[in-house]
Amino acid sequence: MQLRAFLQILMVALLCSPVPVMAQQMTSVNATSVESLPPLKGELTLYLGRGEGGLYEDVLNAIQERNPEFTLNIRRGPTAALANAIMAESKAGIRRADLFWAVDSGAIGMVVDAGLATTVPNDVRQQLLPQFRFSHWTPISGRVRTLPFNSETRNANDIPDNIFALPNSGLRIAWAPAYASFQSFVTAMRLHSGEEKTLNWLKQMKQHATRYAGELGVVMAVERGEVDVGLANHYYTLRLKKGKPNANVDLAFTQNDAGSLINASGIVALNDNKTAVDFIRYLLTKEVQTFLASEAYELPMVQGIASPQGLPSMDQLAPPKVDLTELSDLRPTLNLMRKAGVL
C-alpha cells in the first residue's frame, strides 16, 4: 500500500471510523482501538527524538486532528540531547516537558535513572507484550539487530547464528562502529557476555570488517556485493527492499546473543497529568501500531499486531535477556571500543 493512501486510512480511523484499521487481523483482546479512548483535551509538551523519516510526526498529526480541543507542543531534537535537556531542566527546578518520546531505550534509561519518570499504569502495561513491560516507561515500537547478507552469492546457512563466530567466518563483513545503534548493540554484548569477550570480538572484527558511515550504507554495500554480510537494524533492509523488491539482500539472525538484540523506541510521562497518560494510550492502539509496523517497518509492542512483512514474528526471534534501560550506560562501551581501536 502506498504511504499516502495508508496515511489517509490512518487519519480516517483516528478521526471517525467505527471499525479498527485491519481489525480482521487483530485477535488479542489487549489491543485497543481509538474508538475506546476518551478524547484528549488541554495542552501537552512533547520532547520528540528525531527518527523514522517523519512517520512519528504523521501519527502525532492524526491524533491532533482527532482531538480538536487538544494542543500538542513539540520540541524536536536528537534523542540524547533531549534527554540531557530534561535532566538539566530538572536540576534547575524546571519541568517544561510532559512527555519524552525517544528513539532508543538508552536515552530513556538516563531519564528513568534520574528519577524523572512517573509510574506506568497497570492497564497500559498489560497491553504490551510481556517481555516489554516496564514500570516507568512504555515501549512504542521495536527494532531487531540482524545480519543482512547478499542473497545472490550466499544463503542463510552460510551466516553464523552466533555473533562471536562472525569475525572468523571467512565472510566479507560490513559494519558501522560509530553509529548509535551499533554502540547500543555493543553495550548489550558487554552486559550479556562480559567486557573481555566483547573486547576480543571487537579486535577480531577490526581485522576482518569494512567500515561504513551508517547502517543504511552497510545494507546497500551488502546488496551491491561489496561484502557478503553486515550488521544493521532490520528496517534498513526491509525499507531497501520496499523500494527495490528484487534487491539481492536478505536477513539472518543470531540466537540468544547481542546480535539479535531487540531495542525499542518508547515514551516516558514526566508528570502525573492524566492527559499525558491518555496520549500514551493512543500510541498503543491498533491503528497506530499497525501503521508503524506497515510503514516504518518497526516491531509492534502490543498483542495481536502482525510483524512487518519480511520479518519473523516476535516469538520466532531469540534475543538476549538484557534490561533495555541499562543500555544508557554508554561510557564503558565507548572506552572499550577505543581500547579495541575501532573508534
52 and 9 together in one domain: yes
C-alpha cell at position 172: 566479507
336 and 194 together in one domain: yes
Q: 50: pLDDT confidence band, cut at 50, 70 and 90?
A: confident
309 and 332 together in one domain: no
Residue 156 has what pLDDT?
Answer: 94
Residue 30 has what pLDDT?
Answer: 63
Q: Which of 299, 306, 146 is nearest to 229 (CA)?
A: 146
* Alpha-carbon span 105 to 178, nearest angstrom: 18
**Phi and psi, residue 247, nearest 5°:** -60, 140
209 and 331 together in one domain: yes
Q: Please check if 235 is assigned to a binding site.
A: yes
CATH at 80: 3.40.190.10
Average confidence score pLDDT of the chain: 89
86 and 54 together in one domain: yes
Q: Residue 125, class by beta-carbon neighbours within 10 Å (0-12 exposed, 13-18 middle, 19+ buried)? A: middle
258-310 residue pLDDT tens: 999 999 999 999 999 999 999 999 999 999 999 999 988 999 999 888 899 88
Domain span including residue 92: 3-142+263-315
The neighbouring-strand residues paired with 268 are 100
Q: Per-residue pLDDT for 116 more than 70?
A: yes
Reported for 56-61, long-range contacts at CB under 8 A and 24+ positions apart, including other chains, are 56/101, 58/7, 58/10, 58/291, 59/10, 59/283, 59/288, 59/291, 59/292
More confident residue, 202 or 18: 202
Q: Which of 117, 109, 111 is nearest to 263 (CA)?
A: 109
**CA 266, 268, 273, 274 torsion-angle sign:** positive
Please list, in sequence order, all residues whose beta carbon lies within 8 angstroms of the beta carbon of residue 183, skipping any fewer than 6 positions away.
177, 330, 333, 334, 337
Q: What is the 3-state secondary structure (H, E, C) of 242-310?
A: HHCCCCCCEEECCCCCHHHCEEEEEEEECCCCHHHHHHHHHHCCHHHHHHHHHHCCCEECECCCCCCCC
285 and 166 together in one domain: no
Q: Which of 113, 111, 103 is nearest to 78 (CA)?
A: 103
Query: What is the three-class DSSP state of 233?
Result: strand
275 and 248 together in one domain: no
**Contact of 158 with 149, CB cutoff 8 Å:** yes
Residue 21 has what pLDDT?
Answer: 33
153 and 252 together in one domain: yes
Residue 37 has what pLDDT?
Answer: 93
170-200 residue pLDDT tens: 999 999 999 888 999 999 999 999 999 999 9
Q: 11: pLDDT confidence band, cut at 50, 70 and 90?
A: low
Percent of residues, the chain, with pLDDT higher than 90 = 76
What's 215's DSSP letter?
Answer: H
C-alpha cell at position 211: 567500515
149 and 275 together in one domain: no
Q: Per-residue pLDDT for 28 more than 50?
A: no
C-alpha cell at position 149: 547478507
Q: 1: pLDDT confidence band, cut at 50, 70 and 90?
A: very low
Q: 147: pLDDT confidence band, cut at 50, 70 and 90?
A: very high
Q: 106: pLDDT confidence band, cut at 50, 70 and 90?
A: confident
Percent of residues, the chain, with pLDDT higher than 70 = 90
Residue 52 has what pLDDT?
Answer: 55
Q: Please check if 282 is assigned to a binding site.
A: no
76-92 residue pLDDT tens: 998 889 999 999 999 99
Question: How many domains does the chain contain in total?
Answer: 2
248 and 287 together in one domain: no
128 and 13 together in one domain: yes
162 and 23 together in one domain: no
C-alpha cell at position 118: 512517573
